[in-house]
Chain A
Amino acid sequence: MYDKNKIIPGLIIFVGIVAFPFFYNLVTADYKPEPSLDTPVINKMSKKQCVRPKDFMKTEHMKVLHEWRDSVVRYGEREYGVIDGVKYEKSLQKTCMQCHSNKKDFCDRCHTYVDVKPYCWNCHIAPEGKEE
């Protein structure tokens, strides 16, 4: 290869500049979206728990909601089950938002961070001004 001494350092510098933002953010990014659990209903709970374990809900809540949606709309199966003596209905508005009544500080924090725009709230009504 001709001009090996120039081309290889040049390539390294080029890749370094292009990849700089990724490395920079790897080192410096410390912002984590922290969904707030500070709602009246959750504060009253003696044992803080969701319909499924926290880690599962963190990664799979959209799949849970999709399953709920399909089984409710298509088959009319509205009951999710009983956990610790409490009956849960498969409903975003009536179950999820009953505890997580702080959409802005719970749903939106992560959704804004990862820039996803779920269309739930185009039709379903967020509990704004209902609680607190």
Chain B
Amino acid sequence: MDRRTFLKIGAGVVATTAMGPLPQLVSCLQAKETKACAKNKWGMVIDVAKCVEGCTVCMDACRKENNVSAGNYWIRLATIKPKVPNAKSQPIPLLCNQCDDPFCVKVCLVKASFKRQDGIVLIDEHRCIGCRYCMIVCPYKSRSFVFKHYEEITNPDSPKRQHGVVEKCDFCVSRIDKGLMPACVEACPNKAMSFGNLNDPNSEVAKLVATGKAQRIRPDLGSKPKVYYLGL
């Protein structure tokens, strides 16, 4: 093989490899009309000051909407303590932070965990093999393993999870695709949670984030979480 042919073939191989991401781009163009396209970036702002002590409305609503298995939580009450002297520990509703650079997706062996183009981190339960690497790596401990088959169904329109997979908050993705709010946001009696498109500067969440008062939990880890907290 002379040098010219070698270079030609090499250029061909490089060009073909570069085409790899093309299907994704094309699908994004096709998905223009759906809520899942990259022009959206869903985020949430939770005003902890509006949270009432002992209130579990968001957790109950989540459980009811998503048929969450017994003993597992998609949103739960967690106690955090800022790393400053004399800081008070504070209970906050903690859910999957839908990181923009999610560790769980990086470690998933079978690509069951993935980030949709609108930034929602999802688990393809059809693919999950239950290795639980994602649970180890999640900074928010927002994933839980389904230890046994759960029979109780609270929402017949929504699937449940089978034994041996990992489950977590999906921002109520089927509701978002329909144009509805996540169940917890809708259920909160004090409107402590707001949800919307961070890419849209006129949305409520984008405005709240723009004030600069909204804080994230452990942004220092670098996973770029998209759930913000006010009044921490």
- Seen from chain A, the residues whose Cβ lies within 8 Å of a Cβ on chain B are 69, 73-79, 93-94, 119, 122-125, 130
Query: Could you tell me how many residues of chain B have their Cβ less than 8 Å away from some Cβ of chain A?
Result: 25
Which A residues are CB-close (under 8 A) to B162?
A: 119, 122-123
List B81-114 residues whose CB lies under 8 Å from chain A. 114
Please measure, in the bound complex, the distance between the C-alpha atom of A125 and the C-alpha atom of B162, giving whole angstroms: 11
Given A75-B117, A76-B35, A76-B177, also A93-B157 (CB < 8 A)? yes
A123 to B116, CA, bound (A): 21
Residues of B within 8 A of A124 (CB): 159
Q: How many A-B residue pairs have CB under 8 A?
A: 48
B25 within 8 A of A: no
CB within 8 Å of A: which of B1-59? 27, 30-31, 34-36
| Pairs A–B under 8 Å by Cβ, sample size 18 | A73-B124, A74-B116, A74-B124, A75-B27, A75-B31, A75-B36, A75-B116, A76-B31, A76-B35, A76-B36, A79-B34, A94-B157, A122-B149, A122-B162, A123-B159, A123-B161, A125-B153, A125-B159
Q: Is the CB of B118 within 8 A of A77?
A: no
Convert B113-155 into 0s and 1s, putting 1 for each residue whose CB lies closer than 8 angstroms to a CB of A: 0101110001011100000000000000000000001000100
Known A73-B126, A76-B118, A125-B153; further 7 A-B contacts with Cβ < 8 A: A75-B27, A75-B116, A75-B117, A93-B159, A119-B162, A123-B162, A124-B159
Chain A residues positioned under 8 Å from B30 (CB to CB): 75, 77
For A73, list chain B residues within 8 Å (CB): 122, 124, 126
Instruction: Assess whether B160 is interfacial by the CB under 8 Å rule.
Output: yes
> Closest Cβ of chain B: how far from A71's Cβ, in Å?
8
A78 touches B156 (CB 8 A): no
- Give CA–CA (A90, B149) in the complex, Å: 26
How far, in whole Å, are A116 and B173 apart by their CA atoms in the complex? 31
> Which of B30, B125, B157, B159 lies at the interface centre, i.e. has the most chain A CB atoms within 10 A of its CB?
B159
